[in-house]
Chains A and B, each alone.
Chain A
């Protein structure tokens, strides 16, 4: 696999996950959200965009990058709720 592609996917997905973890509504971490920490997600998002720009033309890069972020951000609430439920079952 192209290393730029791998970097673009991993940092893009990490960006959306980190944004989720920084949200007050996150359910993944039992300890609560990483409050006010939006910068790790932003750095990852920027790194992902830079990596995507190495692979595709500018407009296509921006759209592919945003679709990746949109998708991971859309599914994170479901993964968070699933994790919370699993945690509750383990604790019960």
Chain B
């Protein structure tokens, strides 16, 4: 396809500068996003073991509920009956009460002790998966939600612009260069090919992720504008159906039978019950049908009549109206909440490939601006090149090491501190900023290998923390069946070490006129030297 060189140049400039400004934030979003895909297993892995006795059978759920309501009548306002209790939902009956802080809900679980007496435990939610999700949603920015969310939206919009401008730049050579990866003396060509290889075929995926992120970030303003423009201030969500009436709700075991008959292929997680303003009982069914995409990241939810077991399917994918299906698709395509583990793994790999796309984009920028050595004279690279190289190494590897350390800490924190989220974030940012500082101090070339070693060590801490849990060292624990998290982390360690080895080799044997050479001064030294020369 022929496009004028002046047009290509404009789009190339747009692509480059948008990429440079947003690339590192997008690296964090993609790396953390890849981990978030397995949010539930991570949450289970990170949840401290419950002190409750094993849950009674589902057939005895009503007996347990009656004991709970007798001792804690406030539980009648909102409670759940869990079909298959798991470490992060360890009780058959769970209810929530309002906490002291706004929107705070405190969850309690109940079981029967061996002597038949009621046991109640305040459930402690693990925060590791939420912390990773926060880094994903707010592109790693340590800012309040209200600000970080809009910055993330602007970054996502810029990311969409970068994708389209990149495509236009590539169009003239698309047919000849597709699948090309030329590894040779021309390093700029190699990084360009690597960047294109990662970007060309995954373009539809990236466009979906970019556009859905914009929708998520500006969700509230979109709805506010819609309400003002179309509904005179208040969106019409349709008629609220009358609450069902009856004498007593069906037992959970019967509700489950009814659900299995009405929704084949739908795995029921729990039944939720709550009293509306008129004191009437309303119920919902929560679960997942992996054949369809879910609006919730890990579940689908709809109403059911607790007295007959009839499910109102209009909130379930495949039963919604056209508009709701479209909105549901936005969420599902972003979350990869369909197809079960095979699709989740694909999303993890695509997320990591996306992170590599932004990393290679920065490497390409650095290589494109390298001042080449001619003759014996030493060449000093521009400060902008050195700074971007250092930030690329420090921010990207700082994010990897920070997330690994914070996740590993999940098994040590609950027995020591109360505010888990604060500590998870504090650990992440301390490691992250220490890595960036280290990169500034040591320069891109040296710090790349060293920080990759740090990434490998901190990632190794994840399975080591579980191993400590096998012996209960320092209040740690290990749930049976949660080895997938440990094995994945363990598999990442040799990959990181291999990358560290390659980085060290590049530092020793690479071109001397590159920021990746050991001969190049670290950024802070070079900056100080530059300042001294200016003063002279």
Contacts and interface: CB of A to CB of B under 8 A. Distances in A.
Contact of B292 (A26, A60, A69, A85): A60
Contact of A67 (B179, B291, B350): B350
Given A56-B339, A57-B291, A71-B350, A26 B197 contact: no
A60 B350 contact: no
A81 interface: yes
A20 to B, nearest CB: 6
Contacts of B177: 25
B180 A25 contact: yes
A43 interface: no
Contacts of A76: 179
A66 B181 contact: no
A33 to B, nearest CB: 9
Contacts of B142: none
A77 B192 CA distance: 13
Interface of B: 176-181, 183, 193-194, 197-198, 200-202, 204-205, 290-293, 317-318, 329, 332-333, 338-339, 342-343, 346-347, 349-350, 353
Contacts of B205: 66-67, 70
Contacts of B201: 69-70, 73-74
B179 A81 contact: no
A23 B329 contact: no
A1 B178 CA distance: 34
A47 interface: no
Given A59-B329, A60-B332, A74-B202, A5 B291 contact: no
A57 B318 contact: yes
Contacts of A60: 291-293, 332, 338-339
B interface: dominant SS: helix
A67 B353 contact: no
20 contacts: A5-B342, A9-B342, A20-B179, A23-B178, A25-B177, A25-B180, A26-B179, A56-B338, A57-B318, A59-B293, A60-B293, A66-B204, A67-B347, A69-B201, A71-B346, A73-B201, A74-B197, A74-B353, A76-B179, A81-B181
Interface string A38-74: 0000000000000000011101100110111111011
Contacts of B183: 81, 85
Nearest first, the 6 A-B pairs at minimum CB distance are A77-B181, A73-B201, A25-B180, A23-B179, A77-B197, A60-B338
Interface residues of A, number: 30
B449 to A, nearest CB: 21
B410 to A, nearest CB: 29
A76 B197 CA distance: 9
Nearest to A16: B201
B60 to A, nearest CB: 34
A55 B339 contact: yes
A77 B349 contact: no
Given A25-B178, A25-B181, A67-B343, 16 more contacts: A23-B179, A27-B181, A57-B293, A60-B293, A60-B332, A60-B338, A63-B338, A64-B338, A64-B346, A67-B350, A70-B205, A73-B179, A74-B197, A75-B353, A81-B181, A85-B183
Given A73-B201, A74-B198, A64 B181 contact: no
Contact of A68 (B181, B200, B329, B346): B346
Nearest to A66: B204
Nearest to B345: A71
Contacts of B342: 5, 9, 64
